[in-house]
């Protein structure tokens, strides 16, 4: 396919449009901001990963011998806070979403480029507060900040960390707002709602959650801060306050937050599956609507985190039923992806390995989620490693597989370079194996009753814990390999063509890497998003993607 | 393919086709921001609703310590400031550039008057030991629950005041821009969206006033 650039004179791509540190720190180009975000979230990912290493090391032996109990409390707390708020939530929207949404809808930039840049600074300002708290010893409340421990009893850096989360929340709001307005107002001529790539639909739904949920987290964290610093104790039982109310407000955001993490990954998977099966997506509208359904239903299920709080049995029953209901739109997606694969001409490139890995891991995570939504099982395994395994299957098995799949898919577009085929496939398989070895034993441990957040455990659970820690080291290696070859590829990788995978979509019709304004002539869209049939003029690539 | 209007308006950003598209986009952005504000205050209102339904007597008793006349005056002041803000937007849309600055300044003055009266109220609470903290004292049946009322009173009015201050900072920043003649009949998005924001903050107070000052009044 030829790039839309046809003016004769060569326009520099966005990486070469300007040089120097200032051209990056003050850029309003959504593509450069995406790369800034990528650098930041990667840093936080490895910081959070470092905490995970220490946690898994401690759990190799039944005795609490590596770190003190209160250090262990801080480790799992900081691991959770960093991974959830500073990696998983921004990971796909702020990087891939930022880079791709304007291009996919045929726009030159997001609706508010300066707000977009501002969001990156806000994110980092929140990160600084959190780093400050880590360097001073961190927080020991768990990432959930339950009152009254967080408001009254914990004497760690709750205020600084809470402030960090409060601030970072605004970067999430800014991103979501930007996406919603952009998707509404800046689509190219002919690009109707049902011609949008499912990646865009997924981000639309994600942005709704960011916009409606994050402010509630902000006010909740603010109330904790007011209670700690100004005696304004709305959760304090001494004045008739209810600590459980905190949990309601917290989970009103933090359950939907799971969908902020996983919906964008689902959007990535829809793009990967169609491309590497060379097929129209099965049931486009169902996948599109199911994203919105997840966003809406996700707001009605928070009570499933509170089955053991003395919540009324009627409320719990309703929350339980609604939680199972959210599984329906998720299942629709999985079935539709599978149906898309059926009789497709499948190629096994690296992004596809991640996509298939996602489907497997997300299915396990989702089904165990349905188990947890039932009242009886939840009360049995509440606060055990079963829950830990479940949400890691969703967040790590889902979000990170989607993120890495997307990075490998769009890397040629983003950097204009290819990466080594062998090593990238090797890493994808390593991650899949390492992940399952880490977290599957935790389901069994949890079912046997091992509680989460303890640094010591009875001897009979050692074998499974050693398996988990061994898996974690394989997983760690799996994450390091892409760091190495992607860094190598940025400088030495072979040049990528405009469309190395033979994919359809506006982003593949422009050059790699794109020019600063993406399109030199405005695109006009006259077909659906997944026009992979010969009647629609699709020509499959004649050769394999050019790898090393 | 290329832009229909031959001459680009200086305020038209390169990634929009027309001023109309730009204005629609910017106002939609502000409306969406206001949605987040509704959720932000909504969390606080939910907390209020819960505790008030649990402790109706204590809340009514505590509410009777708020000066209803000052609250009423402040309500009138804020509604007046919304009027001047509307007039500023009207002046912008009809190209009366000096008038924009005049009405923005009037809005600022009324906002400052509101905050002044609020300060008097806060000082009065302090003198009567009604500020949550070690010196809090309340003569009544349930001092703890009454204190919860004051927790919410300070959190809600304080957060509202912070929003007022932010709005007033922007008003002050917009005045010189108006005087320079930046806002024209064709392009006045900043005035328009500042107006939206200001009305929202006003509206929050319209809810706060009855919820905090007027509860239990009808029973005497
Ligand atoms: Cu949940």
Complex confidence, ipTM: 0.92
pTM of the model: 0.94
Structural domain includes residue B9 = no
Q: Do A113 and B32 touch (CB under 8 A)?
A: no
Average pLDDT, chain B: 91
What phi-psi label fits residue A456: left (phi over 0), alpha (psi between -120 and 50 degrees) or beta? beta
Average pLDDT of span A489-509: 93
Distance A156 CA to ligand 1 centre (A): 27
pLDDT computed for residue B134 by the predictor: 82
- pLDDT digits 0-9 by tens, A287-303: 999 999 999 999 999 99
pLDDT computed for residue A534 by the predictor: 86
Burial of A331 (0-12, 13-18, 19+ CB in 10 A): middle
Asked if the model's pLDDT at residue B144 lies above 90, the reply is no
Distance of CA A243 to the CA centre of its chain: 30
Asked if the model's pLDDT at residue B219 lies above 90, the reply is no
pLDDT computed for residue A545 by the predictor: 61
Residues of A in contact with B23 (CB under 8 A): none
Structural domain includes residue B111 = yes
Q: A512 by DSSP, 3-state: which?
A: coil
Structural domain includes residue A2 = no
Contacts of A106 (CB under 8 A, 6+ apart): A187, A188, A191, A506, A519, A522, A523, A525
pLDDT computed for residue A535 by the predictor: 86
pLDDT computed for residue A9 by the predictor: 59
Structural domain includes residue B129 = yes
Q: Write the DSSP assignment of B103-119 as a string of letters.
A: HHHHHHHHHHHHHHHHH
Asked if the model's pLDDT at residue A438 lies above 70, the reply is yes
pLDDT computed for residue A107 by the predictor: 94
Are A525 and A458 within 8 A, CB to CB? no
**Test the B interface: residue of A111, A113, A118 with most B CBs within 10 Å:** A111
Number of domains in chain A: 1
Residues of A in contact with B39 (CB under 8 A): 211-213, 215-216
Asked if the model's pLDDT at residue A5 lies above 50, the reply is no
Strand partners, A495: A417
> The domain spanning residue B141 has which CATH number?
1.20.120.80
How far is A116 from A101, CA to CA, in rounded Å?
13
Q: Does B19 touch chain A (CB under 8 A)?
A: no
Query: How many CB pairs lie under 8 A apart between chains A and B?
Result: 103
pLDDT computed for residue B218 by the predictor: 62
DSSP label of A520: S
- pLDDT digits 0-9 by tens, B75-118: 999 999 999 999 999 999 999 989 999 999 999 999 999 999 99
Average pLDDT of span A72-88: 95
Asked if the model's pLDDT at residue B25 lies above 80, the reply is yes
Percentage of the residues of chain B whose pLDDT score is greater than 90: 71
Q: Do B39 and A213 touch (CB under 8 A)?
A: yes
Q: 154-173 in B: which are within 8 Å (CB) of A?
A: 154-155
Structural domain includes residue B34 = yes
Question: Closest chain B residue to A187 measured between Cα atoms?
Answer: B16
Dihedral sign for Cα B24, B25, B27, B31, please: positive
Q: Do A245 and B134 touch (CB under 8 A)?
A: no
How many residues in total does chain A contain? 548
Contacts of A492 (CB under 8 A, 6+ apart): none
Structural domain includes residue B6 = no
Q: Which of A34-38, A64-68, A478-482 has the lowest mean pLDDT?
A: A64-68
> The domain spanning residue A411 has which CATH number?
1.20.210.10
Distance A306 CA to ligand 1 centre (A): 9
Structural domain includes residue B208 = yes
Minimum-distance CB partner of B43 among A108, A186, A219: A219
Distance A475 CA to ligand 1 centre (A): 25
Q: A491 by DSSP, 3-state: which?
A: helix
- pLDDT digits 0-9 by tens, B158-199: 999 999 999 999 999 999 999 999 999 999 999 999 999 999
Structural domain includes residue A20 = no
Cis peptide before A148 (omega within 30 of 0): yes
Number of domains in chain B: 1
- pLDDT digits 0-9 by tens, A454-477: 999 999 999 999 999 999 999 999
Structural domain includes residue A441 = yes
pLDDT computed for residue B7 by the predictor: 66
Minimum-distance CB partner of A239 among B32, B33, B145: B145
Structural domain includes residue B131 = yes
Q: Which domain holds residue B54?
A: 16-214
Q: Which domain holds residue A476?
A: 25-536
Angle at which helix B97-127 crosses helix B68-93, to 10 degrees, equals 160
Asked if the model's pLDDT at residue A31 lies above 80, the reply is yes
Asked if the model's pLDDT at residue A250 lies above 50, the reply is yes
pLDDT computed for residue B216 by the predictor: 76
Q: Do A218 and B40 touch (CB under 8 A)?
A: yes
Q: B102 by DSSP, 3-state: which?
A: helix
**pLDDT grade for A326, boundaries at 50, 70 and 90:** very high
Structural domain includes residue B219 = no
Q: Which of A9-23, A73-87, A493-507 has the lowest mean pLDDT?
A: A9-23
Average pLDDT of span B203-215: 94
Q: Which of A452, A425, A438 is nearest to A397 (CA)?
A: A438
**Test the B interface: residue of A31, A214, A234, A251 with most B CBs within 10 Å:** A234
- pLDDT digits 0-9 by tens, A163-184: 999 999 999 999 999 999 999 9
């Amino acid at each position: 396919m030829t790039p839309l650039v046809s003016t004769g004179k060569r326009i520099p791509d966005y990486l070469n449009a300007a040089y120097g540190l200032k051209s990056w720190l003050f850029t309003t180009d959504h593509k450069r901001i995406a790369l800034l975000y990528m650098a930041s979230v990667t840093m936080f990912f490895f910081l959070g990963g470092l905490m995970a290493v220490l946690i898994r090391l401690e759990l190799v032996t039944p005795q609490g011998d590596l770190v003190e109990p209160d250090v262990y409390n801080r480790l799992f707390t900081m691991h959770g806070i960093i991974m959830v708020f500073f990696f998983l939530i921004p990971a796909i929207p702020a990087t891939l979403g930022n880079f791709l949404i304007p291009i996919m809808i045929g726009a030159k930039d997001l609706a508010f480029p300066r707000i977009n840049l501002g969001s990156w600074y806000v994110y980092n300002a929140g990160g600084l507060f959190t780093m400050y708290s880590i360097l001073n010893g961190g927080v020991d409340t768990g990432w959930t900040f339950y009152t009254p421990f967080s408001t009254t009893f914990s004497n760690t850096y709750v205020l600084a960390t809470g402030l960090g989360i409060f601030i970072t929340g605004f970067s999430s709001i800014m991103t979501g707002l930007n996406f919603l307005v952009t998707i509404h107002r800046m689509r190219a001529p002919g690009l109707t709602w049902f011609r949008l790539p499912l990646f865009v639909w997924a981000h639309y739904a994600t942005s709704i959650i960011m916009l409606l949920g994050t402010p509630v987290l902000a006010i909740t964290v603010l109330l904790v801060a007011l209670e700690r610093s100004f005696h304004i104790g709305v959760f304090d039982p001494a004045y008739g306050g209810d600590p459980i109310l905190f949990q309601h407000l917290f989970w009103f955001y933090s359950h939907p937050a799971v969908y902020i993490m996983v919906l964008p990954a689902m959007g990535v998977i829809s793009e990967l599956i169609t491309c590497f099966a060379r097929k129209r997506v099965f049931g486009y509208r169902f996948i599109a609507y199911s994203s919105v359904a997840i966003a809406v239903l996700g707001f009605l299920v928070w009570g499933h985190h509170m089955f053991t709080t003395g919540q009324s049995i009627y409320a719990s029953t309703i929350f339980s039923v609604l939680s199972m209901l959210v599984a329906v739109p998720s299942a629709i997606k999985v079935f539709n992806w599978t149906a898309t694969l059926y009789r497709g001409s499948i190629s096994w490139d690296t992004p596809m390995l991640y996509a298939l890995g996602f489907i497997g891991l997300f299915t396990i995570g989702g089904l165990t989620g349905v188990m947890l939504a039932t009242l009886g099982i939840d009360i049995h395994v509440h606060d055990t490693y079963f829950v830990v395994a479940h949400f890691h299957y969703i967040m790590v098995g889902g979000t990170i597989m989607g993120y890495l799949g997307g990075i490998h898919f769009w890397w040629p577009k983003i950097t204009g370079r290819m990466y080594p085929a062998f090593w990238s496939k090797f890493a994808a398989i390593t991650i899949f194996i390492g992940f399952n070895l880490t977290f599957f034993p935790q389901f069994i441990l949890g079912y046997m009753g091992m509680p989460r957040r303890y640094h010591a455990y009875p001897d009979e659970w050692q074998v499974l814990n050693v398996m988990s820690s061994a898996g974690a080291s394989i997983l760690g290696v799996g994450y390091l390999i892409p760091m190495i070859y992607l860094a190598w590829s940025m400088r030495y990788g072979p040049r990528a063509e405009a469309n190395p995978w033979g994919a359809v979509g506006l982003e593949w019709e422009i050059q790699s890497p794109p020019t600063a304004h993406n399109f030199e002539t405005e695109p006009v869209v006259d077909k659906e998003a997944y026009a992979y049939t010969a009647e629609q003029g699709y020509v499959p690539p004649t050769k394999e993607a050019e790898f090393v | 393919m290329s832009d229909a209007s031959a001459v680009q308006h200086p305020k038209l950003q390169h990634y929009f086709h027309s001023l109309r598209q730009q204005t629609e986009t910017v106002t939609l952005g502000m409306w969406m921001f206001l949605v987040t504000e509704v959720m932000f205050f909504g969390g606080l209102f939910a907390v209020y609703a819960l505790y008030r339904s649990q402790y109706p007597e204590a809340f009514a008793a505590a509410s009777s310590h708020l000066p209803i006349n000052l609250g009423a005056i402040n309500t009138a002041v804020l509604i007046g400031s919304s009027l001047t803000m509307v007039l500023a937007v009207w002046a912008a849309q009809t190209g009366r550039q000096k008038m924009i600055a005049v009405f923005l300044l009037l809005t600022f003055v009324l906002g400052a008057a509101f905050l002044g009266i609020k300060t008097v109220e806060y000082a009065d609470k302090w003198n009567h030991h009604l500020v949550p903290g070690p010196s809090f004292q309340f003569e009544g049946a349930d001092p703890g629950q009454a204190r919860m009322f004051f927790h919410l009173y300070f959190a809600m009015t304080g957060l509202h005041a912070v929003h007022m201050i932010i709005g007033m900072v922007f008003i002050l920043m917009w005045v010189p821009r108006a005087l320079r003649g930046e806002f024209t009949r064709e392009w006045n998005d900043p005035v328009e969206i500042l107006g939206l924001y200001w009305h929202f903050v006003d509206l929050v107070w319209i809810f706060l006033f009855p919820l905090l000052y007027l509860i239990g009044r009808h029973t005497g």
